[in-house]
Amino acid sequence: MMMLSGQPSALLLAAALLLLPAAVSAGLDPIRLIFVAFILGTGALSLRRPRPAAPAPRQVRPSRAAVIEDLRHAAAASAQATKLSFDGPPASARTERPASTLLKRRRRWEISADHLGRLTVLSHSPPLHACGGFLRPEECAQLIGTAARVLVRSTVYGHALDASRTSRSCLLARTRPECRAALEKVLALSGALPEQVEDPQVTCYTRGQRYEPHCDGPELHDPQGQSFLQCGGQRLLTVLIYLNAVPRGGRTRFSQLGVEVAPEQGKAIVFAPAFLDGEIDAALVHEALPAEDEKWVCQFWIRQRPDTTGVFMHNPDAQ
């Protein structure tokens, strides 16, 4: 029996009807004969019929509104990506900018907002502030008076004599009464822990003496800076105070910022020579231009970590 038509039960039924008279005369039950023919045809169909392939996933065509919405999202995402990647200056300008403007997301020591109102902005980025009248004239005079007795030739890296720094200087014990006012003001301005602050350094320049361009801390991988960094880590904030009036010469120059600061008695300048992670900010390289008139300065530096070993605190100085 051909089962190709797809209607096998109809063919079986037709065959059963044709054979019906013969079957009746042979004594078979005609109703049963028709029923059996129908069942056989249906079974054969289910065995032979090719199984339908699994339906292909329905391709839902997005509506026009959905397409427009998707495009809107894509455009917004791309605008955001563009904004992020050009948050700094355009790539063509990058090599000409100081490092700190390229890395403006890197964090540095921040002066508390309470004190910012008292400061004059000399540079926004990187921040360089001045504070007139930070120390009173008598506080300045006391520091000079004490330091004048204990000055020695200035060093770099804490110990080496170097032609780039020709002044004389000393470290003073913070416990000295003449250091206390300055230390308290530095702590208030910076918000640092007392243990993070180095004992103050006082420096004197006479005619022709200078400090050539330098950063206030070592590069993190500089082998010569390792012993310095081991105790307290990097210098994160500099407070440089001018202790006397200097009519001529001795300015502090920040070459990358185009800023020169003229010394004025009691004035402080404040900046973060390194980022919080300890990397030096090369944009804050600075120098003491050659002195003409005698010049005195006092510096406080704030380190990454408290001094646990007494290396930069509690100098015996000349006590």
Residues lying near ligand AKG in the complex (CB under 6 A): 203, 211, 216, 240, 252, 286, 288, 297, 299
- Cβ(239)–Cβ(268) below 8 Å: yes
Write down the least CB distance from residue 91 to ligand AKG, Å: 33
DSSP β-ladder status, 268-271 and 128-131: antiparallel
Q: Where are the beta strands (DSSP E) in the chain?
A: 120-123, 128-131, 152-153, 168-171, 201-205, 211-214, 235-242, 252-254, 259-261, 268-271, 286-288, 295-303
Residue 299 CB, shortest distance to ligand AKG, in Å, is: 6
Report CA Rg, the chain: 44
Residue 37 or 123 with smaller CB distance to ligand AKG: 123
Closest CA to 282 of 110, 121, 95: 95
What is the 3-state composition of the chain as percent helix, strand, coil, each rounded to the nearest 5? 35, 20, 45
Residue number, 12 or 246, with CB nearest to ligand AKG: 246
Residue number with CB closer to ligand AKG (196 or 238): 238
**Shortest distance (Å) from residue 177 CB to ligand AKG:** 24
Of residues 99 and 262, the one with the C-beta less far from ligand AKG: 262
| Element of type H or E holding 164 | none
Least distance CB 173 / ligand AKG (angstroms): 19
Which one-letter DSSP state was computed for residue 154? -
Nearer to ligand AKG, 142 or 299 (CB): 299
Q: Which SS3 state, helix, strand or coil, does residue 146 take?
A: helix
- 233-252 CB burial, b ≥16 within 10 A, e <16: bbbbbbbbbbbbebeebbbb
> In the β-sheet with 120-123, what is the strand arrangement from edge to edge?
120-123, 128-131, 268-271, 235-242, 295-303, 201-205, 168-171, 152-153
Closer to ligand AKG by Cβ: residue 197 or 297: 297
Contact 241, 298 (CB under 8 A): yes
Cβ of residue 95: shortest distance to ligand AKG, in angstroms?
26
Whole-number minimum distance, CB 213 to ligand AKG, in Å?
9
CB of 149 to ligand AKG, least distance (A): 20
Nearer CB in complex with ligand AKG: 142/154: 154
